[in-house]
Chain A
């Protein structure tokens, strides 16, 4: 595989790729690949035949089931819909398990469950007004950022809400500064400022409450909020974008609800041409979730135990699907005796990656299917080599919900096979139907198994709308703080510390194995071997520190010595930890994604 050629006629990319797209061939071509099935014997992974490996995997899983021990399955946004669906079938069909999740699933669910994704990037590009909960869209989702640029180029009004004056914020007509953890309050103020002329679209009974609420959200000029609300309400088409990758922390659900309320109050919820877009960290996250890689629902989001879904799935699988609700990815490895991992590296993706790696090592049985030699694959008892996305067939689902076909451009290396084939064979060895001649058979089964239709936009949102008042947001924030701040909290812990983002591309195989893409991340780790904390230039000056110097950061949970990364675009009073450096900062966060801290020069 030597290169990438964009396709002008592709409905999603239209011939324009981001940097990761232009280097998409590099990881498969340059990365350390799994090319043979292997079984761990005497502590070493030995090369074996496919028959032996599949038989061993089936035997080990069956033994755990027979002994009544729980088994789990981790799917992946790096896998196709067919691979993920067959992983779901394995878990709920063969392994009687609801312990089934994506490592990035919790973060995405928190946002996507609170609002109904609607609209495409084309809708975003033709919006008249846009509101973005800004992480750093230009870096996290260049294609979405391209749609935003197209809209702004055509005169659209962009409103950004966030802690840093990022690239998108520099293009905004209004940047509403928000301390991490207080985005809901900014959104509530926007809702309250929506002009009365929109009374026919906004629920009237709550309208009065919203008019009356005001909160000290600090740093927000009234004029900006009023103008922003008016622009959103006046637009015939508007777009609302929100990251769904964990960077909004524990309050993500509340923020998402508040954004949905803003979309409703400005008349855009359910309006054709307007868009509400949760932005997952990685490509096929939505697809994986839609086909059922989640512990709390069946494929298509059907309720666990729903009789019609039970009939549908039972008909396809030849046995009733497990209606168990299982553990989320972060707790999964500790909750099971056996685990099947498809194309994922838990330590790189989970918030507490180190704990995950340790737990994986202690499992009775770990089965890994992957194209790449990840640290997770190195711990496997049985490892099965599968094709990368460039070498396989199937479908993936971009953020707007369309299905996109994937075709192989080369054969996978060595004896690696298509992942869907391996999962179908494994399912077959455990008693599931095996009639798939081609991947099209799996795709067709997905179409039958996933219920048609989706909830109408706006359905089920009456409650969140009523709760989207500033007072409610304030109450929620108080309730969600892990420990009450000390009486002299503001003075002792004057800074707000939060994660800067929710995903570490530097440790994802698609970037780490790409010579072109890995450079920035390698350099960052080289420059900050003991971790880093982002701070504004003003804060660095008042602390008397410079780029690269060390500071001691303390919270009620603990302390850490971290290198200083000066971010001229970051607001004062806020410190951020890049997800790549979450481990050194773990004592400060104590399991949460934000904390109040104090800082001093070390």
Chain B
């Protein structure tokens, strides 16, 4: 495989680079929060950026699709009503994003550009540069190898950083990425052959450490897409789900939402709110009819959307990036690896 264009930056110069980035964009990076949690938050100083961290429980998806997002401002006055779109045009660098999360953002970008393009997400993405930090060892619950979304990426990033110890190799993934590096070109240099070799070995080592793959999407996809999953399987799963919606909120590829108008003094602001297809009310209609009244139907729908071939063909990738967050956040036991295993085996063991 041809090596990507890349530049090297010495570890000692990284903080200077981040300071440079802070001059003309909001830099969102993993930071240590209260109680030892990791969160993706805007930083004000380079020292706040974490380099060794367990991936945050909340993905950086909220910087592409916020949990509460103002969409339109409706203002009433005199004899007119005005409606104006509210776009987030701030320049942003998402820094030290893990490969799985970058794949998730690429997925959302694809969804947002298809059919009726979503201008809110697309405007935000146009002003966002994604700098990933390749994973040199697997995280505890992750299975990105199973969905081609890590530990290293070949696409879906603007710059991919690989930690080589004394320096970082910065691989260019897009014109935006090249422009980002060019703006700090005095801090970067050409990589040496040894550094490129070290990067290759780092990727091979990371892949090798994954051990037994935990999520066999291909065989699950075949079963789901050819009607070979018994209805009874979803029914067996349903007492093990507590309908918290957590899986949807933390999933880098989930984007279901509802829309609500917030009354304000001058009018209303129409907002988009994260929602969850696992909540009973998500598909409830005004008549009271609910096409997914049974929880088994809602669970089936979620995994069909994530894993079936028709969506894979439409979206260009399986609807799961293997980040492992659903494993951590599920109040019950119905997370992706457990469900995929159940689909493959035809049995659910709770």
Contacts and interface: CB of A to CB of B under 8 A. Distances in A.
Given A6-B246, A515-B273, A16 B330 contact: yes
A149 B242 contact: yes
B273 A5 contact: no
A8 B280 CA distance: 26
A8 B244 contact: no
Contacts, number: 113
A157 B46 CA distance: 52
Given A6-B329, A8-B57, A152-B350, A30 B262 contact: yes
Interface string A283-310: 0000000000000000000000000000
Given A22-B249, A170-B239, A3 B62 contact: yes
Given A520-B281, A523-B284, A15 B57 contact: yes
Nearest to B281: A519
A408 interface: no
A153 B36 CA distance: 29
Contacts of A8: 37, 57, 328
A523 B293 CA distance: 13
Q: Among B36, B239, B328, find the residue whose CB has the most chain A CB atoms closer than 10 A.
A: B239
Contacts of B273: 26, 515-516
Interface string B233-271: 000001110111110011000000010101000000000
Contacts of B243: 19, 138, 142
Interface size class of A (residues with CB under 8 A): 35 or more
Nearest to B38: A8
B58 interface: yes
B281 A29 contact: no
B188 interface: no
Given A153-B333, A523-B281, A9 B66 contact: no
B274 interface: yes
Q: Among B243, B281, B284, find the residue whose CB has the most chain A CB atoms closer than 10 A.
A: B281
Nearest to B41: A5
Interface in B258-310: 258, 260, 262, 273-276, 279-281, 284, 288
Q: Among A9, A19, A152, A168, find the residue whose CB has the most chain B CB atoms closer than 10 A.
A: A19
A161 interface: no
Interface in B314-348: 328-333
Contact of B333 (A17, A149, A519): A149
A553 B184 CA distance: 79
A145 interface: yes
A6 B58 CA distance: 8
Interface string B41-78: 00000000000000001100010001110000000000
B293 to A, nearest CB: 11
Interface string A113-153: 00000000000000000000000001000110110010011
A541 B198 CA distance: 73
B260 A30 contact: yes
Interface string A341-358: 000000000000000000
A527 to B, nearest CB: 5
B67 A520 contact: no
A407 B35 CA distance: 12
Contacts of B274: 3
B105 interface: no
Contact of B331 (A3, A143, A516): A143
Contacts of A142: 242-244, 331
Contacts of A203: none
A26 B271 CA distance: 12
A99 B210 CA distance: 64
A273 to B, nearest CB: 23
Interface string B171-197: 000000000000000000000000000
Nearest to B249: A22
Contacts of B68: 1-3, 25, 29
B67 A15 contact: no
A362 interface: no
B36 A21 contact: no
A9 B35 contact: yes
Interface in A378-433: 407
Interface in B4-58: 33-37, 39, 57-58
B28 to A, nearest CB: 14
A17 B246 contact: yes
B288 A523 contact: yes
Contact of A16 (B33, B66, B246, B279): B246
B244 A10 contact: no
A483 B64 CA distance: 64
A213 interface: no
A49 interface: no
A15 B284 contact: no
Nearest to B350: A153
Contact of B350 (A21, A138, A171, A516): A171
Q: Among A9, A22, A138, find the residue whose CB has the most chain B CB atoms closer than 10 A.
A: A22
A430 to B, nearest CB: 36
B240 A149 contact: yes
A283 B330 CA distance: 21
Contacts of B62: 3
Interface in A488-532: 515-516, 519-520, 523, 526-527
A480 interface: no
Contacts of B36: 9
Q: Among B242, B249, B288, B350, find the residue whose CB has the most chain A CB atoms closer than 10 A.
A: B242
A209 interface: no
16 contacts: A2-B68, A3-B66, A5-B37, A9-B35, A15-B57, A16-B328, A16-B329, A22-B276, A26-B273, A29-B68, A30-B262, A149-B333, A516-B275, A519-B281, A520-B281, A523-B284
- The 10 A-B pairs at the shortest CB distance, nearest first, are namely A3-B67, A519-B281, A2-B68, A515-B260, A146-B331, A9-B35, A170-B239, A9-B36, A5-B58, A527-B288
Given A17-B244, A17-B246, A18-B244, 17 more contacts: A2-B67, A2-B68, A6-B250, A15-B328, A16-B328, A17-B331, A22-B245, A142-B242, A149-B331, A152-B350, A153-B350, A168-B239, A171-B240, A515-B260, A520-B284, A523-B281, A527-B288
